[in-house]
Chains A and B, each alone.
Chain A
Amino acid sequence: MRSSFAAICAMVLLVQPALAQVPVVPTYVDETASSGITTSYDGEWFFMVGGGVASFDCNDDGFADIALPGGTALAQLYVNRSSKGGSLTFQPQVSGLELDSVGGFYPADIDSDGITDLLVLRVGENEVMRGLGACMFERANEAWGFDGGDAWSAAAALTFERGASWPTIAIGNYIDREEEISPWGSCTDNWLHRPGATGQFAPPLPLTPSFCALSMLFTDWDKSGTPSLRVSNDREYYEGGQEQMWRILPGEAPKLLTPAEGWKVLRIWGMGIASTDLDRDGYPEYFLTSMADNKLQTLAAPTGPAPKADYKDVAFAKGVTAHRPYFGDDLRPSTAWHAQFEDVNNDGLADLFVAKGNVEKMPDFAMHDPNNLLLQAPDGTFVESGETAGIANNGISRGGALADFNMDGLLDLVVVNRNASAQVWRNTSSMAGKWIGLAVKKPAPNVDAIGGWIEVTHDGVTSRRELTVGGGHAGGQLGWVHFGLAAADKATIKVTWPDGTQSDFGDLAAGSFYRLERDKPAEAVTLRD
């Protein structure tokens, strides 16, 4: 008896350190059926990629609305009618976004009028849609001098170059769709739409060479203060291509980073980019989705004022290769698309969502390929929790967004599926930590401070988030930036503005949403119940 008791005690002592590493698994409930969302991303070959969702507030009520692409069907805007902490409810609204051949959306306030606009990626002519308020939009290609071109556009990113009052938009284009028998090697030029005359874009600049981009992100990878353009390319179609990073300096022609600057050849089926500063060294890590193994890149030597762009892959070491389904009988390799780092259990550690789905009945790849929810443990490794959390689906997913749709401090999820309805899950976790929601604003131009950084410090640990428009797969989020705070009752908030200056917003209490406006104190935001 005594020996049994001792053995149990010993077991408990042995197990405790392991338990300490296990993150809290959030609980997600599929509320698609009652949500009002029915839009399906339809189409065959021309819509095998794309399917990105935009999450943003189009009616200034503080709740994130969503725009969903329809592929061959019409795109649809859904207004968020959820109540605070309640079930997820959306209402379709005629908005001006009812366009066909749409593959994705990125929200951004292009004209800095305080109303979010949308960049619409299409198979055909891209469009910029000016937000009019009350979730209404109008085409602004002509008014803003935006040449939408005629291509198979599948990626986009936006930044405001230093000193510019008008944004720069990068568009990633895919295959030459006129090539019927041999489309391989037919990648068409990506475009860089820089500011032209006041309130206008200049004619687009080809970003040659282009290698069939499926995700782009302006990101300050080296903390130089000037974001570069990271491009993830689909090796299925390029010849002699690779992943790319363009240095975009104001007033200068774009330049590709070279081996002399540390850049190494990487060839993957690049489909999505997620970034965050996982190791808290100030430099972002990049998760790159692909087929079979995915990549997690971190700087090999993050030292000195100008680190080399030499990235090493730590996906295997961190447990985020996500190379095949994590449950079920289908053990074939996975196909990954949208990826996003967010703290879904509010433990202060960024977790990783990955949307999965076969390209189109490829027999060598999993057909039942559930989306991943990889929770970060305190040691920096990740634990797959998609099935336990309840987000493992049967759809063929493409885009997605983690956002707090019912404003309860827990990140919910919307996922776009091919030829089937999009799905929404509500995060109903009861064991999650504390949190804070932040919206950064500044005077025009660039009212959303794209290119800036938020720093949140609690319990002696600082988390940093870069404010970007781009990445993911064909869609993005704009609005509240969510931070989990674990058990902390408050956090110290600092913002680095795009021009490099900083604002301290002091200590803010957990459990609230705050508007952080430049040169003003933080303002707690009251939302509808």
Chain B
Amino acid sequence: MIIRRIAVLGTVALLWCVASFGAIASSRPEPGAMLRDWYFLMNELVRHTPTYSPPVASRSFAYLGVTVFESAVGGSDKLESLAGQLPGLTSVPAREAGARYDEAVIISAALSDAIVYYFGNTGPTGQRSIKNAKAKWHAAAIEGVPADVVTRSEAYGKAVADAIYKWSLDDGGAEVQNMGFPFELDLPKGEDKWVPTNVIRQQQYPLLPDWGSNRTFASPSGAACATPGNPTYSTEADSQFHKEAVEVYETVKAATPEQAEIARFWSDDPMLSMTPPGHWVSIALQVAEETNLPLDENVDLLARMGIAMSDAFVGCWHEKYVYNLLRPVTYIKREIDPKWEPILNTPPFPEYPSGHSVVSGAMDAVLTAFFGDNFAFEDKTGSPDGRNPRFFTSFSAAAEEAGISRLYGGIHFRAAIVDGLAQGRCIGAYAVALKTRK
């Protein structure tokens, strides 16, 4: 089990290989491997921090990605800073010229602070885990490193984390109240409009209605990569809208075991899983581990992924509150079969476009650009919850399956999936276009 390896990090630390490009060679953790272990822990925190709905999780992954990327830039002759490329990020602390640094210590120091910046609202168990992980991994990182190098490296890692955190504070997403649900909101009126789909009092207003106006990273704004809009609402039997509703209805009623398994594999419910952003991070971590990705490539990948997924959710949420479309469960119960129930829990916000599809399209764009077309992999993300690993022939195939899983699960119409994947790929292209290499 992936998460179990975190607990035995201290034992395996001595077996790790020499740092990939660090200035000091020793038997300490390889920085890329250490980085991945921090991310495994952060994925646990996404699941176990109640505010971490998918948009909120994606934002944290973006800032964490930029933090580790900028921490590593000064130690690599391959990487180029994102300062000046991302809105509001004009500069990042620089290293002392000619001074000696240790990459593992820098990463450890930067993430020790960043994890508190972005997961400081986690519960007591998360706080305890952070505290224990920081102590354990700090001890592993500084082993055998001269004291002056440790001091200098830690100060640098902290300075980068602090600079990125300060930059993050005015993007519109830093403060999330009531787990993202408004206390009051005027809901748009109309038979095509979203209405609450459950009897949870807190969720009678939709999640994060203003998220679409947050500052983006690589894409110009939440309005970039606009969708064509949902098919015109209609209850006429021959209308496209009704046909798509019937498709959802009949698919769920006749779902094959594999379709049901696919729906649950990509379910990624907040607070019960690492959410869709965390799922894609998990995929990246598995691939990075299997390919023994060196630190500079690892930070490049995590930064681009974080940026793309955060922009994807801003863009998706922008569109969701343009159209405010009702969910399949509402339409089907009203127009087709009042006793129908979807396989998955219907998320408490408007339907179009599909968030999982948008983020999956964006991740397809980034991962395919990074690893290439037809990169086959096995995704074991669902294993801790008892679901079987799934094999994919490419990241594109995985994204397509993630998208269609929402139709199998009965929570999205086809248009939201098709248009969502396209919107995500469009947004992901902006992250791919960032210049991270010299």
Contacts and interface: CB of A to CB of B under 8 A. Distances in A.
Chains A and B are bound partners: yes
Interface of A: 44-45, 48, 175, 179-185, 235-237, 239-240, 267, 291-293, 313-317, 321, 323-324, 331-333, 359-365
A453 to B, nearest CB: 30
21 contacts: A175-B125, A179-B7, A180-B7, A180-B129, A181-B133, A182-B3, A182-B4, A183-B125, A236-B48, A236-B125, A239-B384, A240-B384, A292-B202, A293-B200, A314-B199, A315-B201, A316-B199, A321-B202, A323-B201, A361-B124, A364-B176
A362 B121 contact: yes
A364 B125 contact: no
Contacts of B15: none
B124 A48 contact: yes
Given A180-B132, A364-B121, 11 more contacts: A45-B128, A181-B9, A182-B4, A184-B47, A235-B271, A316-B199, A321-B201, A323-B201, A331-B178, A361-B124, A365-B50
B124 A181 contact: no
Given A182-B6, A313-B199, A360 B48 contact: no
Contacts of B179: 292, 333, 364
A359 B201 contact: no
B301 to A, nearest CB: 23
B290 interface: no
B125 A181 contact: no
Interface core residue of B133, B176, B200 (most chain A CB under 10 Å) = B200
Given A180-B7, A364-B51, A323 B202 contact: yes
List 9 tightest A-B contacts by C-beta distance, closest first: A321-B201, A360-B124, A240-B386, A240-B385, A316-B199, A363-B121, A180-B132, A239-B384, A182-B6
Contacts of B11: none
Contacts of B1: 185
Contacts of B129: 180-183
A333 B385 contact: no
A184 B385 CA distance: 11
B177 interface: yes
A68 B44 CA distance: 35
A142 B26 CA distance: 55
A239 B7 contact: no
B120 interface: yes
Nearest to A365: B50
A364 to B, nearest CB: 5
Contacts, number: 101
Given A267-B272, A293-B201, A359 B4 contact: no
Contacts of A316: 199-201
A75 to B, nearest CB: 22
Nearest to B128: A45
A360 B123 contact: yes
Interface in B212-257: none
Interface string B293-334: 000000000000000000000000000000000000000000
B41 A181 contact: yes
Contacts of A365: 50
Interface residues of B, number: 38
Interface string B154-189: 000000000000000000000011110001000000
B124 A185 contact: no
Contact of A239 (B6, B177, B386): B386
A48 B123 CA distance: 11
A364 B3 CA distance: 25
Contacts of B3: 182, 184-185
Contacts of A364: 49-51, 121, 176, 179
Given A179-B7, A185-B384, A45 B200 contact: no
Contacts of B41: 181-182
Contacts of A180: 7, 128-129, 132
B395 to A, nearest CB: 26
B136 interface: yes
Nearest to B4: A182
A322 B428 CA distance: 42
Given A180-B7, A184-B47, A239-B384, A333 B183 contact: no
Contacts of A291: 50
Nearest to A291: B50
Contacts of A317: 199
A182 B44 contact: yes
Contacts of A359: 123-124
Contacts of B178: 324, 331-333
A364 B126 CA distance: 13
B252 to A, nearest CB: 16
Contacts of B125: 45, 175, 183-184, 236-237
Contacts of B123: 236, 359-360, 362
B202 A333 contact: yes
B42 to A, nearest CB: 12
Contacts of B271: 235
B388 to A, nearest CB: 12
A313 B200 CA distance: 9
Contacts of B44: 182, 184
B263 to A, nearest CB: 14
Nearest to A362: B123
Nearest to B196: A316
A421 to B, nearest CB: 22
Contact of B385 (A237, A239, A321, A360): A239
A382 to B, nearest CB: 13
Contact of B177 (A181, A323, A332): A332
A87 to B, nearest CB: 37
Nearest to A267: B272
Nearest to B384: A239
A509 to B, nearest CB: 42
A240 B264 CA distance: 11
A364 B181 CA distance: 12
B359 to A, nearest CB: 23
B7 A184 contact: no
